[in-house]
Amino acid sequence: MHFKPKYLATTYLLLFIVLLSFATLIYGCKPKTGQYYKLTGNVKLDGENLVQLKCTRCHALTPINALPKNVWINHVLVSMAPMLKISTYGGQFFKQDAKDTTGASIVEWLAIVNYYKKFAPDTLLPVRKPAPLVEDWTGFTLKKPLPFNSTSFTTAINYNPATRKLYSADAVNEKLYSWDSNLKADSLASLPSAGVDISFDKEAGSNIGFVSAIGRMAPVDFPNGKIVKLDLDAKDVNASETYIASDLPRPVQTIVGDFNKDGLNDIVVCGQGDKKGGVYLLVQNKDKTYTQQSILNKAGSVQALKGDFNKDGWLDLMVLTGTGDEGLWLLLNDQKGGFTTRKLLTFPPTNSSTSFQLVDMDHDGNLDLVYTCGYNYHDSRILKPYHGLYIFTNAGNWSFKQKYFYPINGCTKAIAADFDGDGDVDIATIAFFADMQNTPQEEFIYFEQNKPFDFKPHAVPVSKYGRWMCMETADLNNDGKLDIILGNYADGFKFIHGLQPQWDRNLPLIVLENHTKK
C-alpha cells in the first residue's frame, strides 16, 4: 500500500499523538517520587494520606494501632527514615540534601511523625483467647538425652523417614549430629556455619543430605550462607562435604525436586536475608554441578512447599515471606525453566511471618492454610497480641479466608497432624519469642481438635527444659503415632529486657513420646 505525501504527513502526526498519549499514560502510572504532597494542616488527614502514599511502596500498610507510640517514634520510624531519604541524628530528623526531591520532604516527614505522636496508642491491649490454656501432659511423656557439657544452641531438627534417622545441628560449635533410638548423639560433620535445615535425597544408593548453613544467625544482610551436600552414610561424612552454592543471603531451607523434568533432582533455596533475599533454583546439571537462578526476588523468604498446585503434572512452589513485603506466594511452573508468580495473601510487616502448612482441616478436599507469625527480632521487639496461630480455609483456587486465630506471643512454627488418631487434625506450636517471664507455658502448645475448628489448647509443661527454636515430628518408637521433637537454643536473641534463662541450658533436645488416646 502506498500513501501520497500530504496523507503521509497527516499519518505521521497522528502516530506521534498516539505515541505521546501512550507515553503520558505509562509515565502517569509510575510513582511520582519527586512530587510532594500538599499539606492541609489536618494532622490526621495529612498523616493518613502521607503514610498511604509514602509507606506502602515496599510493603502493605501497617495499621497505626499495631504498635505503641514509643515504638513507632523511637524504633520503627528511625529505621524507616532512610528509605525516604531522611537522615537521623541525635533524635532529630533532617533532609540531608534539600534539593533531593525523592522519598519525602522534611515537612512531609515531620507531618508523618506528628501523626504517629498524636494518634498511635500508648499501649497494645491483649486479645481474648478462644479457650484457656490447660496445663497437662495430655498423653505425651518426656524423653531426654544426656545433657551436653556446654550450652546448647540447636538450630535444626530434621528426620529422614527413608532411613528412620534423626539429625540436629548446633549454631556455636557448628556441628551436625545424628541420634540413635536411645537418643545418643554422634557428631557427623563440621559445618561452615550454623545449620538451620536439612533435607534429604536418595541418590545412587547414598543417603544424601543438603544442609542450609545460614552464615549469620542475626537478621543482617551479609551473604555468606552456603548449601552443603553430604553423604550421611559415608564412613567419613566430613570428607564427602561439598558446597553446591555459596554467598547466599541467610539460606534457611532447601527443597529437593525435579522441577524441569530432566530426571535429575534440583534444589530450591529460601534465602531469608534481611533487606535483601529471595528464592533460588539450583538446577542440577548432568555433571552433578548446579546452575543458580533467582525465581522470587523477595527478602524474608522463610519457607517454601513444593506440590503440583495447578494439577498440570509439573512441580510448583508456595512461598512465605516474613519481612518487608510479607505474604504467601504461589509460583507456578511455566514448564520452560521458570515460574509465574501470584500473591495469595498479604500480611503487614509487623506480623513477621514464620511458618505455614497446607492441610485439609475441614475435609472438603481443598488444602487449607495453617499459618504462624511472631519472629520478634526486628525493629519492634515487643509482645504483640496479633502474633500466634491462624487457620485460613481454602474456598477453591487458593482463595483463603481467615477462620481461626489463637494469640501466642512470638509464635515461630506449627505442625498440623492427627496426633491422637481420631480422624481430625490437631496442631503443635512452638514460640521462640514467647512471653517467657509471664507465660512461659506458651512456648509449646498442643491444640487438640474435638470438633471442626474447636480446639482445646494444652500447655504441655516443658518450658523448664529449654527454649524451643525448632520442632520436628516423627514416629521414633515405631508405635504408629507421631512423636514431637523440640530443639533447645538456650541463649541469645533476648528481646525481653533483663530476662535470665529459667530453663535447662545443656539439653540439646527433648522428645515428647505420643501416647494420646481417644
Domain check: are 58 and 145 in the same one? no
Angstrom distances, CA of residue 367 to CA of 317, 354, 362, 404: 14, 19, 9, 15
| Domain boundary pick from 119, 142, 172 | 119
Cα 392 to Cα 63: distance, rounded to the nearest angstrom: 21
Domain check: are 139 and 114 in the same one? no
SS3 call for 19: helix
- The string of DSSP letters for 415-475 reads EEE-SSSSSS-EEEEE-TT--TTT-GGGGEEEEEEEETTEEEEE--S-GGG--EEEEEEE-
- pTM (2 decimals)? 0.90
Domain check: are 277 and 351 in the same one? yes
Domain check: are 207 and 107 in the same one? no
Whether residue 398 is contained in a domain is answered as yes
Whether residue 19 is contained in a domain is answered as no
Whether residue 37 is contained in a domain is answered as no
Handedness of CA 101, 105, 108, 114 (dihedral sign): positive
Cα 238 to Cα 209: distance, rounded to the nearest angstrom: 12
Please tell me the predicted confidence (pLDDT) of residue 58: 84
DSSP conformational letter for 266? E
Whether residue 470 is contained in a domain is answered as yes
DSSP conformational letter for 359? E
Contact between 230 and 241 (Cβ < 8 Å): yes
State the CB neighbour count (10 A cutoff) for residue 453.
13
Q: What is the pLDDT of residues 126-154, one digit of tens each?
A: 999 999 999 999 999 999 999 999 999 99
Cα 314 to Cα 257: distance, rounded to the nearest angstrom: 10
Tally the domains of the chain: 2
Please tell me the predicted confidence (pLDDT) of residue 99: 67
Domain check: are 194 and 275 in the same one? yes
Residue 248 backbone phi and psi in degrees, to 5 = -95, 150
Point out the residues of the chain with pLDDT beneath 70.
1-36, 90-91, 96, 98-99, 101, 204
Boundaries of domain holding 405? 134-494+501-514
Contact between 343 and 329 (Cβ < 8 Å): yes
Whether residue 9 is contained in a domain is answered as no
Domain check: are 339 and 289 in the same one? yes
Please tell me the predicted confidence (pLDDT) of residue 497: 80
| Domain boundary pick from 119, 149, 171 | 119
Domain check: are 158 and 76 in the same one? no
| Domain boundary pick from 119, 153, 173 | 119
Domain check: are 340 and 489 in the same one? yes
Contact between 344 and 397 (Cβ < 8 Å): no
- The string of DSSP letters for 365-386 reads SSPEEEEEE----SS--S--TT
Domain check: are 101 and 213 in the same one? no
